[in-house]
Structure 1
Amino acid sequence: MKKVLVLGGSRYFGRGVVERLRDGGLDVTVLNRGSTPAPSGVAHLIADRDDEDGLKTALGSRSFDVVLDQVCYTPVQAAIARRVIRADRYVMTSTIEVYDQIRTDTPMVESLVTPSAAEFGLPWHDGDFLEAHYGEGKRQAEAVFAAGDVPFASVRAAHVLGGDDFTGRLRHYVERLDAGDAVDVHARPRPTTFIHEREIADFLAWATEADFTGAINAGSHGELSATDLAGAVVAEPRFRVVERDASPYSFDRYTVLDTSRATGLGFSFSTTTGWLSEAIEEIRKAL
């Protein structure tokens, strides 16, 4: 039986991934800080991944066939994991935001962003710095793992939507538009890629059991702009054009993922319009 370690996996789609791996017959261990219990039927280790000695103590002599790292945001965290965790394959949940420096008018392929040198001296432990450099932190974390000896894959996930989204970004649209208020957008909102929380859980479970390496994009078919998203919430949305501090998912650059690598490896994505209305209604019911 394949042994899998999941770092994080306590909320949102992470919990769904753990449940899928467990139900698929894998021997699953979840490691987190203990604020949320792991799903039933899996082993649970408690440690702060930023505490290298504590992580060593929690893991002991354990080794794993594969690691799924849901909560790696910096090169410092990646370096600690490389030093401490023993595994035959490492999969990291990355993000579409690694492409935040790319300017293109065609869907973004994985090769547009390749591993580069990590900058360990930056203030990665500062929350405000990390939030402002989210894409850079993920890029550098990918680079640290890619430089190691363990086969490594990074899943660059599209923007995740669904009723359990703790970020509140889709709720921003539903609350404002249902109240008759405007959402703030760029003068020319450009499209991006989305994926439902169930689908990214399916994809990560599939990626964990696969054997490919390197970066791979994950997103539903069908690009949407902020105005498209608003139009799915209400029939006649109101907008206010701003130069800065636009609503979530309003982009002034084209940010659509090319998912041909994933489909070529055998994963079939849904279409965004097939589940978007459901995700919006899930938000409304939770308000």
Structure 2
Amino acid sequence: MKRILVIGGSRYFGKSLVTRLRDAGDDVMVLNRGSSAPPPGVGRLLADRDDEAGLRTALGGRDFDVVVDQVCYTPLQAAVARRVFAGRTGRYVMTSTMEVYDPATFPAGSAPCTGSALPVVPVVEGALDLTGPPFARPFPYRQEPAPAPGDTQARVRARAYAEGKRQAEAVFLHGPDGPDGPPFPFVSVRTAHVLGGGRAEFTGRLAHYVRRIAAGIPVDVHATPYGTSFIHHLEMADFLGWTARQTFTGPVNAASHGAPDVLALCTTVAERLGRRFRHRVVEAGADASPFSFDRAYAMDNGRATALGFAFGRVADWLPGAVTETARAAA
């Protein structure tokens, strides 16, 4: 049995993670601002994670074997967490994102990713270098990249999200005061695009395809779309629960086997709905539908596999996720 604190854990795969940990016999607590109650058998701490003094007060003298942070989005939040939980936990697991690798979201003038762009082959954890500039420098970091010419609102949000996660990882890695800080037992789980769960899949990205294809509306795609990585929401919960019981540190990619491109995704949706799909090609540089990428955008899951986690295949669970989404939209 482990003593595990989940920061967040009130929706989507975070809820599934909490119940899985509880059912496995772990002593589980969640920490949030009180927006929703935890399931039976799970403890609760009320605090705003951004309030360092309030967070320390809520924790009191407690310590944990593992902390799983589901809702760290900025370097400011990471700095608070690293200071507060130093010496309080054996391992700190942050749920990050595959978007940290996306070269399209790096601030102008920086190139912390190996090479000028992602390789066409699925990217490994070491492709993102958080040990050199601009990350190995004293806190505070710039939280959001400067807007680029022609940025749409969606691109600005994507850039801010990816940059916030990169910088948060860097703070956990180096410490709030730079690379000379004390070591911290940190794991960053870089998640693929999470799908499934019907209405619980709050981003609505799979629902976008279900609605358009059901209605016969063309799907916007790039001229040569690249494949990307996905993971089922329950597999994501399983992976985080498995990670909490391991001893490794550092970044780890979490993705089901297989990297379909947007046209393959549309084919699966259309087959499940019993419809044909139509698509139209957008101009170079224009926004397309979710999961249509004009650059390499898939992750290698080899490290997690070698450590002992058995991923499923996108092709096996995606049809069921489509059906689930269609039923929720009906």
Common topology (TM > 0.5): yes
Residue in 2 that maps onto 1:239:
279
Say yes or no: does 1:185 pair with 2:221. Answer: yes
1:185 alignment partner AA: V
Residue in 2 that maps onto 1:161:
195
Aligned counterparts of 1:202 and 1:103: Cα–Cα separation in 2 = 28
Write out the 4+ residue segments of structure 1 that deviate beyond 4 Å after TM superposition.
Answer: 128-131
Deviation at 1:143, TM superposition (A): 1.1
Aligned counterparts of 1:44 and 1:114: Cα–Cα separation in 2 = 36
Which structure's CA Rg is the greater one?
2
Q: Given that residues 122 and 299 in structure 2 are in contact (C-alpha distance below 8 angstroms), is that contact kept between their aligned partners in structure 1?
A: yes
Q: Given that residues 130 and 137 in structure 1 are in contact (C-alpha distance below 8 angstroms), is that contact kept between their aligned partners in structure 2?
A: no
Aligned counterparts of 2:143 and 2:255: Cα–Cα separation in 1 = 31
Q: Which of 123, 130, 149 matches 1:108?
A: 123
Q: Given that residues 143 and 163 in structure 2 are in contact (C-alpha distance below 8 angstroms), is that contact kept between their aligned partners in structure 1?
A: no
Residue in 2 that maps onto 1:144:
171
Aligned counterparts of 1:110 and 1:8: Cα–Cα separation in 2 = 25
Aligned counterparts of 1:153 and 1:121: Cα–Cα separation in 2 = 20
Say yes or no: does 1:228 pair with 2:268. Answer: no
Say yes or no: does 1:117 pair with 2:136. Answer: yes
2:312 alignment partner AA: S
SS at match of 1:138: helix
Task: Summarize deviations over 1:83-138 as a string: whole Å, max 9, x none.
Answer: 112212111111110111142111100000122336625356xxx86653211111
What is the aligned-residue RMSD (CA, Å)? Answer: 1.5
Deviation at 1:195, TM superposition (A): 0.5
Q: Which of 208, 214, 225 matches 2:250?
A: 214
SS at match of 2:251: strand
Judged with a 3 Å threshold, the aligned counterparts in structure 2 of structure 1 residues 266 and 123 are, in CA distance, closer, same or farther, namely closer
Task: Summarize deviations over 1:28-81 as a string: whole Å, max 9, x none.
Answer: 110011111112111011111112222122112211111101111111100000
Judged with a 3 Å threshold, the aligned counterparts in structure 2 of structure 1 residues 55 and 111 are, in CA distance, closer, same or farther, namely same
Q: Quick one: percent identity of the two aligned structures? A: 57
Aligned counterparts of 2:96 and 2:247: Cα–Cα separation in 1 = 17
SS at match of 2:4: strand
Unaligned runs of 5+ residues in structure 1 are none
Q: Which of 94, 102, 112 matches 2:96?
A: 94
Aligned counterparts of 2:313 and 2:64: Cα–Cα separation in 1 = 35
Deviation at 1:8, TM superposition (A): 0.6
Q: Given that residues 74 and 143 in structure 2 are in contact (C-alpha distance below 8 angstroms), is that contact kept between their aligned partners in structure 1?
A: no
Q: Which of 295, 306, 310 matches 1:264?
A: 306
SS at match of 2:89: coil
Residue in 1 that maps onto 2:55:
55
Task: Summarize deviations over 1:224-253 as a string: whole Å, max 9, x none.
Answer: 111111111114211121132211111011
Aligned residues: 284
SS at match of 1:200: helix
Deviation at 1:272, TM superposition (A): 0.4
